[in-house]
């Protein structure tokens, strides 16, 4: 499957996928809950440095990834002030107005905050997704997080179906076009198109799944409740160093922001 | 004690009336190499699945009888135990991987069996070296070629050190390069003598020297013939051909010549033997009068001018120029990834060609509306299922006519005609997806022809079919061609090319390497190897015989040989 992962040797690549996940998940939550731009901005900086230094992600690649995210955030910031409930911001200075459309300073501020929070959430996952092989992730889930191996490995096998189904889908559409199938406008036409391509796609998927299942059974998959692992995943001291070090640094950042009076209360989206 | 013992085995699948295997009794001795043959649906793959207990433990129903491998009863021992005795290499290289990387794939079975990880590294080294792909150890499986995938899949079986290896049509989805790789591996395994091999294959001529014994299943799931290959093909040849069972081409030729009163010093089953067997006759046979080369009309049906195309960074077509004349039976050949299908997709407008690069009967391609195009060019995809859009065989053929808003009575008449021509009339009310593979293929061609298109493009029309279905389809295509339709076939089957096409375009890495008569291409060994093509057995036989008898140089097909005997 097409993932963001690129094989490389770096501190982040060598870590257990779970330690990277345990850094990313609470961080995402923090980004969601922040109510001012400074916390997300500080963490975006921290994540960027982590990626570039510890993950040895090339600056060019990082910028190429960041570009579209920034565009998204800008677009959001441009539209959001007009969607905010006006009563929330009507007491702030009016910056611009055209008839009923009004741009308040408060609205713009909320839009900016939300924009950087979204950016923060999006790039929080990068240290994990750019440096983690999906097979290693499954191994770590099975070996450390005690996910039943039958589920983990079946998921891994299913991963390989996604690109197959994607290419199958485009061939089916082409084949139907050649037959002179007109796509009818509207949801009725869409539904009809979906039904038509669903049958050949399902046929292929089921046949493929049966074959894969047989081939896996033929190599003793699921025969015993335990299996051994050639690649043993470990949650080693470097994982603890990363996990605890990252959060110690995170706590320092939060303390620093508070002493500067920049840390706001944490709450879920309440603006719309 | 035989290594495989099958006693009165009867197997049934749910929702099928007939037994897949019926009262089958069979012994295989340790170290034997057995070729398992039979018409499609005779239970070859079913038999393979019974050997490691997948049947009945994962699929199917074992009604009666017993299967023992290395003394273990397959109903009493788990598939996991049996996996260490029997390894099965399946047909579809993409469907048999469980993980994403070569190394993971090799240890997958060992891990499942609970082997000590400490010994695994050496085992990986060993089996990857054995199949000759040690360099691929760290690759993702998705980056491998078809032949490499089958080698890795075999290595993953060898890791569990089975005594018996079963090959269930492992080359069916491969091009000739991949096929050669797998055959070389079979020969290597045979020469090491450590395994008992059971092969299910239909490209036989290159394998016959490895085979000790041939077992032929009949359509009812019993045994039709069992014995040394020469004896089976000699004595049962007629019956096998009637059932549509693949035979070595040289054996088919020997039967054909015998029927015409030619006496042979021995009945050949390999190329080498065929040279000895046919030499005396060839020396006395008079060369047939050269058939005047079939000429197509010089009016181009399709003209491609300097067409280039890239998928992202990958240059798929480079500066292709071809004139396809009206009435041509043109074959586009080349290895996987040579650009054949990409070119064909441009000819149908599935990939839009740049303005000025393709003309249909002199008309600029991009100015023809899509609906018009469908009326003038028919395209059959490699997998017929992709094209089905309705729920009955009848509707499937009528569909195109309805789209063109033909009157109902014409639709009814044309549909019936086509269904009869293609032998599908009795399935008119069936759902297309319930047909057999050969029938699906015929239906996809029939439904493509409904509009009376005069250019037909077919992607791998004989792929995955048995001898009889493949021949039947090609007979229909030749008939259409003789009526003046232009037929374009994408294939890597050189036998199909030599027997049917009047022109061949050989492609490699997005370029046209050759454009001309098939016989001419057959005489260019360097070009064939550049395009990664191999000649069919009879053409290779002629090349061997032609060193002494130059008049054989243009004898390339069964028909050519038979013409020689008259």
Q: What is the mean pLDDT of residues B145-171?
A: 95
pLDDT at B209 over 90: yes
Which chain B residues have a beta carbon less than 8 Å from that of A8? none
Residue contact B116–A228, C-beta within 8 A: yes
Q: What is the pLDDT of residue A221?
A: 94
Q: What is the mean pLDDT of residues B206-231?
A: 95
Q: What is the pLDDT of residue B289?
A: 62
Alpha-carbon gap, residue B184 to B198, rounded angstroms:
16
Alpha-carbon gap, residue B85 to B82, rounded angstroms:
5
Residue contact B142–A176, C-beta within 8 A: no
pLDDT at B194 over 90: yes
How close, in Å, is residue B515 to chain A by CA atoms? 27
Residue B107 tokens, joined = 């240890």
How close, in Å, is residue A209 to chain B by CA atoms? 8
Quote the percentage of chain B above a pLDDT of 90: 68
pLDDT at B403 over 90: no
Q: DSSP secondary-structure letter at B358? A: E
- B462 or A45, which is more confident? A45
Residue A193 in contact with partner chain B when CB distance is under 8 A: no
Sheet of strand B86-89, all strands in order from the earlier edge strand to the far edge: B86-89, B164-168, B196-200, B33-37, B213-217, B223-227
Nearest 5°: CA angle at B270, between B264 and B275?
A: 50
Q: What is the pLDDT of residue A183?
A: 67
Asked whether the beta carbons of B211 and B183 are under 8 A apart, the reply is no
Q: What is the pLDDT of residue B295?
A: 58
Residue contact B79–A223, C-beta within 8 A: yes
Which chain A residues have a beta carbon less than 8 Å from that of B400? 179-180
Alpha-carbon gap, residue B498 to B536, rounded angstroms:
9
pLDDT at B257 over 80: yes
Residue A3 in contact with partner chain B when CB distance is under 8 A: no
Q: What is the pLDDT of residue B500?
A: 95
Search chain A and give the residue with CA nearest B55: A214
Residue contact A219–B109, C-beta within 8 A: yes
pLDDT per residue over B84-94, tens digit each? 999 999 998 88
ipTM score of complex: 0.88
pLDDT at B449 over 50: yes
How close, in Å, is residue B317 to chain A by CA atoms? 19
- Compute φ and ψ for B46, nearest 5 degrees: -60, -45
Residue B70 tokens, joined = 């290395």
Alpha-carbon gap, residue B545 to B282, rounded angstroms:
8
pLDDT per residue over B46-62, tens digit each? 999 999 999 999 888 88
How close, in Å, is residue A138 to chain B by CA atoms? 11
Residue A102 tokens, joined = 């009004």
Which chain B residues have a beta carbon less than 8 Å from that of A221? 98, 108, 112
Residue contact A221–B112, C-beta within 8 A: yes
Spell out the residues 6+ positions from residue B245 whose beta carbon is closer than 8 angstroms to its own.
Answer: B37, B38, B39, B216, B466, B467
Residue A160 in contact with partner chain B when CB distance is under 8 A: yes
Which chain B residues have a beta carbon less than 8 Å from that of A198? none
Quick one: CA dihedral B417, B423, B426, B428, positive or negative?
negative
Residue contact B111–A228, C-beta within 8 A: yes
Alpha-carbon gap, residue B66 to B56, rounded angstroms:
11
Residue contact A215–B98, C-beta within 8 A: yes
Q: What is the pLDDT of residue A272?
A: 41
Search chain B and give the residue with CA nearest A171: B386
CA distances from B520 to B10, B286, B506 (A): 51, 22, 12
pLDDT per residue over B84-121, tens digit each? 999 999 998 888 999 999 999 999 999 999 999 999 99
Alpha-carbon gap, residue A212 to A40, rounded angstroms:
45
pLDDT at B424 over 60: yes
Alpha-carbon gap, residue A121 to A29, rounded angstroms:
8
Q: Which of residues 128-147 of A touch B (CB under 8 A)?
A: 134-135
Q: What is the pLDDT of residue B540?
A: 94
Which chain A residues have a beta carbon less than 8 Å from that of B389? 176, 179, 181, 196
What average pLDDT does the structure give for chain B? 91
Search chain A and give the residue with CA nearest B80: A220
Which chain A residues have a beta carbon less than 8 Å from that of B109? 219-220
Asked whether the beta carbons of B159 and B107 are under 8 A apart, the reply is yes
Q: What is the mean pLDDT of residues B200-222?
A: 94
Which chain A residues have a beta carbon less than 8 Å from that of B376? none
How close, in Å, is residue A193 to chain B by CA atoms? 9
Burial environment of residue B258 by CB neighbours within 10 A (0 to 12, 13 to 18, 19 or more) = middle
Residue contact B100–A156, C-beta within 8 A: yes
What stretches of A90-144 show up as alpha helix (H) in DSSP? 105-124, 126-129, 134-143
- Compute φ and ψ for A19, nearest 5 degrees: -65, -35
Point out which residues pair with B177 in neighbouring strands. none
Task: Report the 10 Å Cβ neighbour count for B449.
Answer: 22
Quote the percentage of chain B above a pLDDT of 70: 98
Residue A9 in contact with partner chain B when CB distance is under 8 A: no
- A84 or B156, which is more confident? B156
Asked whether the beta carbons of B422 and B443 are under 8 A apart, the reply is yes
What stretches of B113-228 show up as alpha helix (H) in DSSP? 120-130, 146-158, 176-192
Nearest to B109 among A164, A196, A220 (CB): A220
Q: Which of residues 229-268 of A touch B (CB under 8 A)?
A: 229-232
Residue from A25, A125, A107 nearest A69 by CA: A125
Walk along chain A (272 residues) in steps of 10 and give the mean pLDDT of each run: 80 95 94 89 95 93 92 87 79 83 85 89 93 92 93 88 86 85 76 85 90 94 92 93 95 93 72 44
The pLDDT confidence band at residue B296, using thresholds 50, 70 and 90, is low
CA atoms within 13 A on the CB side of B209: 12
Q: What is the pLDDT of residue A271?
A: 47
The pLDDT confidence band at residue B297, using thresholds 50, 70 and 90, is low
Q: What is the mean pLDDT of residues B230-256?
A: 94
Q: What is the pLDDT of residue B293?
A: 58
Three-state secondary-structure class, residue B237 = helix
The pLDDT confidence band at residue B456, using thresholds 50, 70 and 90, is very high
Residue from B442, B383, B461, B437 nearest B40 by CA: B437
Residue B38 tokens, joined = 């039979």
């Amino acid at each position: 499957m097409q993932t963001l992962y690129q094989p490389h040797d770096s501190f982040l690549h060598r870590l257990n996928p779970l330690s990277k996940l345990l850094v990313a998940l609470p961080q995402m939550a923090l980004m969601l809950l922040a109510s001012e731009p400074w916390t997300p901005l500080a963490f975006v900086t921290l994540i960027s440095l982590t990626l570039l230094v510890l993950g040895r992600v090339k600056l060019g690649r990082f910028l190429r990834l960041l570009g579209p995210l920034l565009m998204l955030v800008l677009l959001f910031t441009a539209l959001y002030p007009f969607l905010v409930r006006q009563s929330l911001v009507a007491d702030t200075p009016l910056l611009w107005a055209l008839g009923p459309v009004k741009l308040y300073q408060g609205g713009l501020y909320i839009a900016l905050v939300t924009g950087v929070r979204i950016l923060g959430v999006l790039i929080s996952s990068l240290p994990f997704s750019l440096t983690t092989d999906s097979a290693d992730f499954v191994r770590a889930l099975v070996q450390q997080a005690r996910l039943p191996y039958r589920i983990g490995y079946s998921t891994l096998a299913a991963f390989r179906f996604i690109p197959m189904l994607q290419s199958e889908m485009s061939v089916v559409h082409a084949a139907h076009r050649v037959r002179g199938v007109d796509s009818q406008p509207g949801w009725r036409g869409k539904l009809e198109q979906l039904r038509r391509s669903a049958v050949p796609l399902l046929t292929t998927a089921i046949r493929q799944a049966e074959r894969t299942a047989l081939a896996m059974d033929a190599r003793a998959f699921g025969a015993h409740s335990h299996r051994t692992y050639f690649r043993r995943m470990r949650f080693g001291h470097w994982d603890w160093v990363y996990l605890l070090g990252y959060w110690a640094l995170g706590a320092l950042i939060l303390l620093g922001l508070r002493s500067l009076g920049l840390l706001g209360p944490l709450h879920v989206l309440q603006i719309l | 004690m035989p290594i495989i013992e099958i006693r009165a085995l009867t197997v049934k699948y749910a929702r099928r009336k007939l037994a897949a295997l019926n009262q089958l009794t069979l012994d295989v001795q340790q170290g034997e190499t057995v070729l398992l043959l039979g018409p499609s649906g005779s239970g070859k793959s079913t038999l393979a699945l019974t050997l490691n207990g997948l049947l009945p433990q994962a699929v199917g129903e074992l009604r009666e009888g017993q299967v023992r491998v290395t003394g273990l009863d397959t109903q009493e021992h788990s598939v996991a135990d049996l996996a260490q005795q029997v390894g099965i290499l399946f047909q579809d290289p993409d469907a048999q991987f469980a993980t994403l990387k070569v190394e993971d794939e090799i240890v997958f079975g060992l891990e499942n069996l609970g082997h000590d990880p400490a010994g695994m590294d050496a085992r990986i080294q060993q089996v990857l070296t054995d199949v000759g792909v040690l360099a691929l150890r760290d690759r993702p499986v998705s980056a491998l070629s078809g032949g490499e995938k089958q080698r890795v899949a075999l290595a993953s079986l060898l890791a569990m050190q089975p005594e018996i290896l079963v090959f269930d049509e492992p080359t069916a989805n491969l091009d000739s390069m991949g096929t050669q790789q797998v055959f070389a591996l079979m020969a290597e395994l045979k020469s090491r003598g450590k395994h008992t091999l059971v092969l299910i294959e239909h490209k036989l001529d290159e394998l016959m020297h490895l085979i000790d014994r041939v077992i032929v299943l009949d359509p009812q799931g019993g045994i039709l013939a069992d014995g040394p290959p020469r004896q089976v093909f000699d004595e049962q040849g007629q019956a096998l051909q009637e059932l549509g069972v693949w035979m070595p081409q040289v054996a088919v030729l020997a039967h054909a010549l015998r029927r015409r009163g030619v006496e042979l010093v021995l009945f050949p089953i390999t190329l080498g033997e065929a040279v000895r067997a046919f030499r005396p006759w060839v020396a006395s046979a008079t060369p047939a009068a050269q058939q005047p080369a079939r000429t197509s009309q010089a009016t181009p049906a399709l003209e491609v001018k300097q067409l280039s195309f890239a998928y992202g960074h990958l240059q798929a077509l480079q500066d292709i120029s071809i004139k396809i004349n009206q009435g041509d039976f043109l074959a586009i050949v080349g290895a996987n990834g040579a650009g054949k299908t990409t070119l064909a997709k441009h000819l149908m407008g599935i990939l839009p060609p740049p303005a000025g690069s393709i003309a249909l009967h002199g008309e600029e391609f991009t100015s023809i509306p899509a609906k018009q195009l469908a009326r003038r060019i028919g395209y059959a995809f490699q997998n017929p299922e992709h094209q089905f859009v309705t729920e009955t065989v009848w509707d499937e053929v009528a569909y195109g006519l309805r789209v063109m808003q033909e009157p109902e009575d014409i639709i009814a008449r044309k549909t019936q005609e086509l269904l009869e021509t293609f032998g599908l009339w009795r399935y008119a009310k069936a759902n297309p997806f319930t047909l057999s593979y050969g029938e699906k293929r015929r239906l996809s061609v029939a439904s493509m022809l409904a509009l009376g298109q005069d250019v037909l493009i077919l992607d791998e029309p004989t792929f995955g079919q048995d001898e009889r279905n493949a021949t039947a389809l090609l007979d229909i295509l030749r008939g259409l061609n003789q009526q003046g339709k232009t037929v374009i076939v994408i294939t890597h089957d050189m036998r199909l090319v030599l027997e049917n096409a009047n022109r061949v375009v050989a492609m490699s890495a997005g370029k046209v390497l050759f454009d001309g008569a098939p016989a001419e291409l057959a005489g260019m060994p360097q070009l064939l190897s550049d395009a990664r093509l191999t000649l069919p057995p009879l053409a290779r036989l002629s090349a061997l015989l032609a060193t002494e008898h130059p008049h054989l140089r243009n004898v390339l097909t069964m028909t050519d040989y038979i013409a020689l005997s008259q």
